[in-house]
A = this chain, B = another copy of it.
Amino acid sequence: MKADKRTEFERMFHPETVAVIGASDHDGFSQALMSTKLRDSLFLVNPKYKTLHGKRCYASILDIEDGADYVVIAVPALNVSEVLADCVTKGVKTAHVFTAGFSETGLHERKLLEDEVKEIARGRINLIGPNCMGIHCPRSGLAFIPDASTGEGSVGVISQSGTFAEQFLSIGKLRNIRFSKVVSYGNAIDLDCPDFLEYLAHDRETEVIALYMEGTKNGDRLKATITEAAGLKPVVALKGGVTSDGRRAASSHTGSLAGSPEIWSSLFRQAGVIQVENFDELLDATLALSCARLPAGKGTAIITNSGGFSVLETDLCAKAGLEVPQFTEKTTSELRKMVPVAGTSINNPLDAWPIYYNLPGKPGTLADAIRILSHDRNIHSIVLHFDEVSYLRRVLGDAVEDLLRDLIKVMVEGCRYARDAMGKTVMVCVALDAYSEDEEDRRYHLLAKKAFEDERFPVYPALGASIKALFNLYRYSSQRLHS
């Protein structure tokens, strides 16, 4: 990316002034921007209002003396051309067209409308969209949904779908993913995926790139930019429209010609991109890549309190391409000293419920167990499964809170040792069902989750998710070793 284009993108993501054309008392853009540092540099435009959100509301962008660096256009499709022309007149640098109802409808007259918009923009203004959410950038205050993750972080997201960009922000907030920049680019009649890839590839604040796309208008350029980006930092990609029914759906969604799934997979493989299969996997892999250490090998230790899950987890690891090797004799004999024999399995998987209870007078803690097995030469990663609240509540009653806090402390301690002193990858599953209505139980689980997150461990609500994310970490790590 040339220096002047880079400067242009820097300005696009960090505007000094922003306007929302088509603002209303409930549009998400105004609400989102009113809650960030751009609040005082925000202009609202809608001829229907005199004031909005306690601010003056302008009838047109032409009425704003100095215009605005970044403009959100959220007016009906038939009015977009006129509003965009005003933006050009006013010298606006970037227009983000939120409005949908263009080529993606499959209607000829809507395609013509899109061409008109494209023609107005060409060479005069940077255009993002139409049919998208635009840019979210915590550092500058640009934001497209209220209450989204606003802490600055290292994850860059490029999404053709607006919903996925929103979901990345809102679920990311629940999962402790912090973002550098999030872009939803929709129909891409001007700025396209490769433009944003090029920018994020060289963006110092971005350490991981997550990508959702349905198609591209310039395969060669995409290939070049994605290969460059993946050479510089991890790129995880989800391709929508990989089946023939899905391709038809993608065409209705963003007007994309989706291409054959084989072409895409081979492009991703050659470029060194981690391709994933669904949105959850994209989110989960991104979280892992943003905070976990890369595993030095396939050897995975599983620590759980359930025999059934220990078997299935092992199957999941092995199916994913990881290994659950036996511990060395030294590890096993040390563990045996502290874990009673009944109802446990002192091997890998380590099914060791008694040490989860951390009850006084017992010979060892979960921290001791993690410490012991983190010295095992066959082990590169540890997956810790926590789901032990209901039994403890039954046994301890009100005393459970103190015990749980101690147990959580001990687990985090062990995991820190494994990661920081022994260089192991640590993945945590704090199992919680989405529909759980036991508020006490939820509170305890969220307590554990936060304790791990505070120490920058990746935490997942389901076992399968933690193992799949570990596998994607391993894919990235082994690919780097072999390239």
Assess the B101–A254 pair: CB atoms within 8 A.
no
A232 at the interface (CB under 8 A from B): no
A161 at the interface (CB under 8 A from B): yes
A280 at the interface (CB under 8 A from B): yes
Assess the A432–B435 pair: CB atoms within 8 A.
yes
Q: Which of B160, B161, B307, B436 contacts A174 (CB 8 A)?
A: B436
Assess the B163–A343 pair: CB atoms within 8 A.
no
What residues of B have a CB within 8 angstroms of the CB of A308 in the complex? 159-164, 212, 240, 253, 279
What residues of B have a CB within 8 angstroms of the CB of A310 in the complex? 249, 252-253
**Could you say how many copies of this chain the assembly holds?**
2
A51 at the interface (CB under 8 A from B): no
A365 at the interface (CB under 8 A from B): no
Assess the A433–B433 pair: CB atoms within 8 A.
no
Q: Which of B214, B311, B432 contacts A311 (CB 8 A)?
A: B214
Given A308-B253, A435-B446, do A390 and B170 touch, yes or no (CB 8 Å)?
yes
Assess the B312–A351 pair: CB atoms within 8 A.
no
A263 at the interface (CB under 8 A from B): no
Given A162-B308, A394-B146, A461-B435, do A249 and B107 touch, yes or no (CB 8 Å)?
no
What residues of B have a CB within 8 angstroms of the CB of A390 in the complex? 170
Assess the B395–A307 pair: CB atoms within 8 A.
no
Q: Which of B26, B107, B212, B238 contacts A395 (CB 8 A)?
A: B26
What residues of B have a CB within 8 angstroms of the CB of A280 in the complex? 462, 464
A175 at the interface (CB under 8 A from B): yes
A289 at the interface (CB under 8 A from B): no
What residues of B have a CB within 8 angstroms of the CB of A31 in the complex? 394
CA distance A449 to B311 in the complex (A): 32
Residues in A146-177 with C-beta less than 8 Å from chain B: 146, 159-164, 170-171, 174-175
Q: Which of B26, B314, B434 contacts A249 (CB 8 A)?
A: B314
* Contact string against B for A residues 263-280, beta-carbon threshold 8 Å, 1 for contact and 0 otherwise: 000000000000000111
Given A252-B351, A308-B164, do A342 and B99 touch, yes or no (CB 8 Å)?
yes
CA distance A104 to B351 in the complex (A): 12
Assess the A345–B99 pair: CB atoms within 8 A.
no
A338 at the interface (CB under 8 A from B): no
A421 CB, min distance to chain B CBs, angstroms = 27
Assess the B307–A162 pair: CB atoms within 8 A.
yes
Binds B, one of A41-49, A52-60, A221-229, A316-324: A316-324
Residue of B nearest to A279 (CB): B312
A437 at the interface (CB under 8 A from B): yes
A358 CB, min distance to chain B CBs, angstroms = 16
Assess the A161–B311 pair: CB atoms within 8 A.
yes
A104 CB, min distance to chain B CBs, angstroms = 7
Residue of B nearest to A390 (CB): B170
CA distance A164 to B309 in the complex (A): 8
* Contact string against B for A residues 291-328, beta-carbon threshold 8 Å, 1 for contact and 0 otherwise: 00000000000000011111110111111000111100
Assess the A241–B162 pair: CB atoms within 8 A.
no
Assess the A341–B105 pair: CB atoms within 8 A.
yes
* Contact string against B for A residues 97-134, beta-carbon threshold 8 Å, 1 for contact and 0 otherwise: 00111001101001000000000000000000001000
A46 CB, min distance to chain B CBs, angstroms = 16
Assess the B107–A341 pair: CB atoms within 8 A.
yes
What residues of B have a CB within 8 angstroms of the CB of A104 in the complex? 307, 345
Interface centre among A77, A101, A146, A308 (most CB of B within 10 A): A308
Other than the given A252-B310, A432-B434, 20 more pairs (CB < 8 A) read A26-B394, A28-B391, A105-B345, A107-B341, A159-B308, A164-B308, A170-B390, A240-B308, A241-B314, A246-B311, A246-B324, A252-B345, A253-B307, A253-B308, A253-B311, A254-B307, A278-B464, A279-B309, A434-B461, A435-B446
A interface residues, Cβ below 8 angstroms from B: 26, 28, 31, 76-77, 99-101, 104-105, 107, 110, 131, 146, 159-164, 170-171, 174-175, 212, 214, 238, 240-246, 248-250, 252-254, 278-280, 306-312, 314-319, 323-326, 341-345, 347, 349, 351, 390-391, 394-396, 432-437, 446, 449, 461-462, 464
6 contacts between A and B (CB under 8 A): A241-B315, A248-B326, A249-B324, A252-B345, A278-B316, A437-B446
